[in-house]
Structure 1
Amino acid sequence: MLENMDLRDQIKKYFSSGFSNREILQLLKECHEINISNRSLERMLQRMNLYRRINKTDELGVANYIQQQLSTSGKLHGYRWMYHKCWMNGMIVSRETVRLILRHLDAEGVDLRARNRLRRQTYFSRGPNFVWHIDGYDKLKPYGIAINGCVDGFSRQLIWLHAYSTNSDPRVIAGYYMNAVSERQGCPHKIRIDMGTENIHVADMQHFLRLHGGDSQGADQSVISGPSTGNQRIEQWWLTLRKECIQFWLDLFDCLKGDGNFADSDLDKSLIQFCFLNSIQVRQQCGVGSLMLFFLVFGNPCLGLPIL
Structure 2
Amino acid sequence: MHLRCIQNGLTVKRDTVRHLLRLLDPEGVEIRSRRRLRRRIYRGRGPNFIWHVDSNDKLKPYGICINGCIDGYSRNVLWVESYSTNSDPYVIAGYFIQTVLDNVGCPRVIRADFGTENSTIRAMQYFFRTDGQDPFSGARSFIQGSSQHNQRIECWWSVLRKHCLQFWMNLFEELKDNGDFCGDFLDKSLVQFCFMNLFQDDVDTIKKEWNSHRISSSRNRHGPFGRPSVMYSMPQLYGTQNFLVPVQPDEIEVCESECTFKSPYPCDRDVFDLCITLMAEAGITAPTNPREGQDLYHFLRTEILHRI
Same fold, judged at TM 0.5 (above): yes
TM-superposed deviation, 1:118? 5.1
Q: Tell which deviates more after alignment, 113-122 or 223-232.
A: 113-122
2:189 maps to 270
1:280 maps to 199
Report SS of the residue matched to 1:245: helix
Separation of aligned partners in 2, 1:118 and 1:184: 36
Separation of aligned partners in 2, 1:110 and 1:296: 19
Separation of aligned partners in 2, 1:265 and 1:257: 12
Separation of aligned partners in 1, 2:116 and 2:23: 49
1:12 maps to none
Runs in 1 of length 4+ with deviation above 6 angstroms?
none
Aligned pairs (5 A) from 1:14-163:
82-115=1-34, 117=36, 119-163=38-82
Separation of aligned partners in 2, 1:112 and 1:193: 29
Q: Structure 1 residue aligned with 2:113, among 194, 215, 239?
A: 194
2:244 maps to 306
Report SS of the residue matched to 1:268: helix
1:182 maps to 101
Separation of aligned partners in 1, 2:28 and 2:144: 38
Say how many residue pairs are matched: 227
**Change in CA separation of 1:286 and 1:181 when aligned onto 2, cut-off 3 Å:** same
Report SS of the residue matched to 2:105: coil
**Change in CA separation of 1:225 and 1:115 when aligned onto 2, cut-off 3 Å:** closer
TM-superposed deviation, 1:240? 1.6
* 1:156/1:295 contact within 8 Å kept: no
**Change in CA separation of 1:211 and 1:200 when aligned onto 2, cut-off 3 Å:** same
1:205 maps to 124
2:146 maps to 227
TM-superposed deviation, 1:101? 2.7
C-alpha RMSD of the superposition: 1.8
Separation of aligned partners in 2, 1:187 and 1:130: 9
**Change in CA separation of 1:297 and 1:111 when aligned onto 2, cut-off 3 Å:** closer
Separation of aligned partners in 2, 1:258 and 1:96: 38
TM-superposed deviation, 1:211? 1.3
CA displacement 1:35-62 (0-9 Å, x = unmatched): xxxxxxxxxxxxxxxxxxxxxxxxxxxx
Give % identity.
Answer: 49
**TM-score scaled by length of structure 1:** 0.69
CA displacement 1:184-214 (0-9 Å, x = unmatched): 1111000012222211111111111111111
Separation of aligned partners in 2, 1:201 and 1:264: 29
**Change in CA separation of 1:183 and 1:305 when aligned onto 2, cut-off 3 Å:** farther
TM-superposed deviation, 1:297? 5.8
Separation of aligned partners in 1, 2:129 and 2:45: 17
Separation of aligned partners in 2, 1:296 and 1:238: 16
CA displacement 1:129-186 (0-9 Å, x = unmatched): 1110111111110000000000111111101100111011111111100110111111
TM-superposed deviation, 1:296? 5.8
CA displacement 1:11-43 (0-9 Å, x = unmatched): xxxxxxxxxxxxxxxxxxxxxxxxxxxxxxxxx
1:290 maps to 209
**Change in CA separation of 1:305 and 1:184 when aligned onto 2, cut-off 3 Å:** farther
1:171 aligns with 2:90: yes
Letter in 2 for 1:114: S
* 1:129/1:188 contact within 8 Å kept: yes
1:250 aligns with 2:169: yes
Which structure has more relative contact order (CA 8 Å, sep 6+)? It is: 2
TM-superposed deviation, 1:295? 4.2
Separation of aligned partners in 1, 2:33 and 2:150: 27
**TM-score scaled by length of structure 2:** 0.69
Q: Which runs of 5+ in 1 are unaligned?
A: 1-81
